[in-house]
């Protein structure tokens, strides 16, 4: 489905009561920015009830003519909606967007796509039948540090030759399911730079080291309870990259991800790309989420050239329109704008079939646990 701008937009999950809200901190600023307003007009909210939607309309000063919905079916039936943006809990994604997909509305759903693999497949098949475009919030592919790494590898300026191997170490506690959400985002970002993995070559291990998880109130930073997890908190693997113009034959990706507090002074994220004539290293001291909040301390990129033994600092930066937005909204905004502008899948936004490839691979890691 494509429509002229601005797109008549419905938000799912813009809560007036949630302590933390990705919808209000990452999506809403992008929609209401000087760049976003010509592309989007908020015409409806869908929450758990009509009253909850009305409360959010009032809290966030949404135009009073916006409709309040408590039912995904009712939202899907609204002929005045072009685009639906979903920011609910993962286990609610499918049930809140499938009716809109059946009606041919365009949908932007945050990652992970859905809680069940069969739901992802149903969304893919339904969208093919209805003509709905589905974008998935894998914003890390277009985070400026990732874009800069692709430039270094693709445009030949680095003169480093083809990729021989790469290593990725992440040691920062993340919210939700640490594998599907935390690992999933960084894994997707890595492969968006390096290329896909040969699935038959993967050797990995997962482990649940600390099943008892403390629950922290984000507003007070105090521990308020605990829960028992059944999701692995350690994942390590290595595998061969699919041959490409960027990588040498049998180039290897080694990946280590651990949920938990890093050793003091240890960067949360270190990403090394070993090439034929040099090495690239990205370091993020304070977080792994390049698509979101990893910028409390500077994220640095360096190139080591073997022939001169020199280390070069590589500059990267936000665009002017990104700098006008809160940090969490910057990568999200570029994907939303590309989607609204009708750009082709892969040109600024991730389609559901590409996201499904990543979801299947992550599910393989979990099923092998």
Q: Give 336-349 pLDDT, tens digit per residue.
A: 999 999 999 999 99
CATH of domain 141-317: 3.30.360.10
Q: Give 44-71 pLDDT, tens digit per residue.
A: 999 999 999 999 999 999 998 999 999 9
Q: What are phi and psi of 166, to 5 degrees?
A: -145, 150
Separation in Å, CA 256 to CA 196, 214, 222, 234: 17, 23, 29, 8
- The CA dihedral of 90, 94, 100, 104, to the nearest 10 degrees, is 110
**Where in the sequence of the chain do the CATH 3.30.360.10 domains occur?**
141-317
pLDDT at position 171 over 50: no
Q: Can you give the pLDDT at residue 362?
A: 84
Q: Give 219-255 pLDDT, tens digit per residue.
A: 677 777 777 777 777 888 899 999 888 898 889 999 9
Tell me, yes or no, if the pTM score tops 0.85. yes
Tokens read off for 277: 């004539």
The CATH classification of domain 7-137+326-359, taken from the options 3.40.50.720, 3.20.20.10, 3.40.630.40, 3.30.70.1450: 3.40.50.720
Whether 47 contacts 70, CB under 8 Å: yes
- Run of H or E residues at 234: strand 234-240
pLDDT tier for residue 169 given thresholds of 50, 70 and 90: low
Task: Determine the Cα–Cα distance for residues 225 and 51; give it in Å rounded to an integer.
Answer: 30
**Where in the sequence of the chain do the CATH 3.40.50.720 domains occur?**
7-137+326-359
């Amino acid at each position: 489905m494509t429509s002229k701008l601005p797109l008549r937009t419905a938000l799912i999950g813009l809560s007036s009561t949630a302590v933390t809200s990705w919808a209000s901190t990452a999506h809403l600023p992008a929609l209401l920015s000087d760049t976003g307003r010509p592309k989007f007009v908020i015409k409806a909210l869908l929450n758990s009830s009509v009253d909850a939607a009305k409360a959010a309309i009032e809290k966030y000063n949404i135009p009073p003519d916006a409709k309040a919905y408590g039912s995904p079916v009712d939202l899907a039936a609204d002929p005045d909606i072009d685009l639906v943006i979903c920011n609910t809990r993962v286990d609610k994604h499918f049930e809140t967007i499938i009716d809109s997909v059946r009606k041919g509305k365009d949908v932007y759903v945050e990652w992970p796509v859905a809680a069940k693999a069969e739901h992802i497949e149903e969304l893919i098949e339904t969208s093919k039948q209805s003509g709905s475009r589905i974008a998935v919030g894998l914003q890390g592919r277009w985070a400026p540090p990732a874009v800069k790494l692709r430039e270094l590898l693709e445009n030949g300026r680095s003169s480093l030759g083809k990729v021989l191997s790469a290593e990725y170490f992440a040691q920062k506690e993340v919210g939700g399911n640490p594998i599907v959400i935390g690992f999933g985002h960084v894994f997707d970002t890595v492969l968006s730079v390096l290329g896909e993995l040969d699935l038959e070559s993967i050797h990995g291990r997962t482990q649940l080291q600390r099943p008892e998880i403390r629950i922290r109130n984000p507003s007070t930073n105090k521990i308020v309870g605990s829960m028992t997890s059944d999701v692995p908190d350690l994942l390590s693997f290595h595998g061969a990259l699919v041959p490409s113009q960027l990588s040498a034959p049998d180039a290897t990706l080694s990946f280590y991800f651990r949920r938990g507090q890093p050793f003091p002074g240890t960067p949360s994220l270190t990403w090394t790309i070993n090439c034929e004539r040099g090495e690239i290293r990205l370091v993020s001291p304070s977080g792994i989420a390049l698509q979101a909040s990893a910028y409390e301390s500077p994220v640095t990129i360096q190139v080591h050239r073997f022939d001169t033994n020199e280390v070069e600092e590589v500059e990267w930066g936000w665009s002017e329109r990104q700098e006008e937005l809160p940090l969490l909204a910057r990568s999200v905004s570029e994907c939303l704008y590309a989607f609204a502008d009708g750009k082709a899948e892969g040109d600024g936004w991730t389609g559901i079939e590409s996201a499904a490839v990543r979801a299947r691979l992550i599910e393989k890691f979990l099923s092998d646990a």
